[in-house]
Amino acid sequence: MILCEEPLSRHSSIRTGGPGQVVALVESTEELLSVLESVREGTLPSPVRFIGNASNILFPDGGLPGTIVSLKKMDLFDIRPDGLIEAQAGAFLPRLAFHAARKGMGGLGFLSGIPGTVGGGVVMNAGTTTGEMADVLREVCLVSPNGSMFRIDREELLFSYRTSEFQREELSGKPSKWHDCVIVSAVLETFPSDPAHLLGEWERLRRLRSETQPLEKPNLGSVFRNPPGEFAGRLIEEAGWKGAVRGAIEISRRHANFFVNLGGGLSRDFRSLVEDVRLAILQKNGFRLETEVEIVPEETPAAV
C-alpha cells in the first residue's frame, strides 16, 4: 500500500511526527523489491528509509521527504523442528517469543516486552539484562538498494550494547558496510525447554514491565543508553527531572528514562527535554548521556 503525505505519527509508538512524503507498507519481499525499483526509476521519491514498528525512532515534526518503507506487515515466521526460527523482518518480537515458548523453544523470553520487529531488533541489538538479539541471531537476509539479495552471518554485524554495524554511521560518522541495505528476514537460534516454564517466564516478564514502565501512554522505551555501571533513569531522577513536562511530553513519573506523550505532543519538545537532561547530567555527574532512541533531525520547519 502506498500512502502519500501520510502522518508519521500514525506509525510511531510515541505518536509524534509530521507527514512522510510517501509511506510504503510492504507485505512481501516482492512488494519491497518493486518499491525499490520504483525509487531507482524515479517514480517514487528518494531517499529511502526503512522502519519496523517505529518504537525506537523519533520522527521530525516537519515530516520527511522521500519514501519511508514500513516492513511491519512482513510479519510471518516459521518455527522449524531443528530449533531454528526463520522470521520475516516485520515479525513482532513479543509474538515471536510467545509462539516459540508455546513450542518449547527457549532463549527468546527477553523479547517478550520489546514492542519492535525482528529487523529493528537486529539493527538496535534489542535486549534486556537477561539477553539481547546478538545472543540468538544466526544470520540475516539483506536486500541492497539495487535489489540484490544476500545473507550475512551474525559475526559480520559487529554487535555491541544496543547497537550494530547498521548504526555505525550514526554513532561514529563512518559509513556502515551495510549502508542503505534492508533486512528482509533473520534466522534465530533457540534451545529445547519446557513450554509451561517458558510461558510462565514470558508472562512474568510482561507483568514486571507493566508495573515498572508507563506502558499506558505512547513512548519510545528507554530514551538514553545506560552509561557503564549506571542507570540513566536513576541519574535523571536524582537530578530532579522526573515528572518534568514540556508541551505535552513528560518525563515519566513511573520511569525517568521514559518520555511519554500526554496527547498531542511534539518531537521538538522531546528533543528539547533530551538536551536539557543531557546538560544537567553532564554538569552534575560529568558525563554525556547518549540516546538509545534514534532522533531524526528536522529537515523542514514544522508547520506548528
Ligand X SMILES: Cc1cc2nc3c(=O)[nH]c(=O)nc-3n(C[C@H](O)[C@H](O)[C@H](O)COP(=O)(O)OP(=O)(O)OC[C@H]3O[C@@H](n4cnc5c(N)ncnc54)[C@H](O)[C@@H]3O)c2cc1C
Residue 100 and residue 84: Cα distance in Å, rounded?
Answer: 10
> Which residue stretch of 38-46, 115-123, 150-158, 236-244 sits at the interface with ligand X (rule: CB under 6 A)?
115-123
State the Cα–Cα distance between residues 61 and 52, nearest whole angstrom.
19
Q: Is 168 a catalytic residue?
A: no
Count residues binding ligand X (CB under 6 A): 33
Residue selected from 18, 60, 120, 265 as contacting ligand X according to rule CB under 6 A = 120
Residues 169-198 within binding reach of ligand X (CB under 6 A) = 182-183
**Do residues 233 and 254 make contact, with C-beta atoms less than 8 angstroms apart?**
no
* Binding segment toward ligand X, per CB under 6 A, in 94-102, 116-124, 151-159, 282-290: 116-124
Under the binding rule (CB under 6 A), the answer on residue 252 touching ligand X is no
> Does the footprint of ligand X cover residue 219 (CB under 6 A)?
yes
128 near ligand X, judged by CB under 6 A: yes
Number of H helices and E strands in the chain, helices first, is 8, 18
Annotated active-site residue in 222, 250, 267, 271: 222
As given in the structure block, the three cell numbers for residue 293 are 532512541
Under the criterion CB under 6 A, does residue 35 sit at the interface with ligand X? no
> Looking at beta carbons only, is 38 or 104 nearer to ligand X?
38
What count of other Cβ atoms lies within 10 Å of the Cβ of residue 108? 25
Q: Which of 9, 16, 29, 53 binds ligand X (CB under 6 A)?
A: 53
In angstroms, the CA 50 to CA 119 distance is 9
Shortest Å distance, C-beta 198 to ligand X: 18
R_g of the chain computed on alpha carbons: 19
Distances (CA, A) of 250 to 217, 243, 245, 255, 282: 10, 6, 4, 11, 21
Asked about 238 being catalytic, the answer comes back as no
Catalytic residues: 162, 222, 292
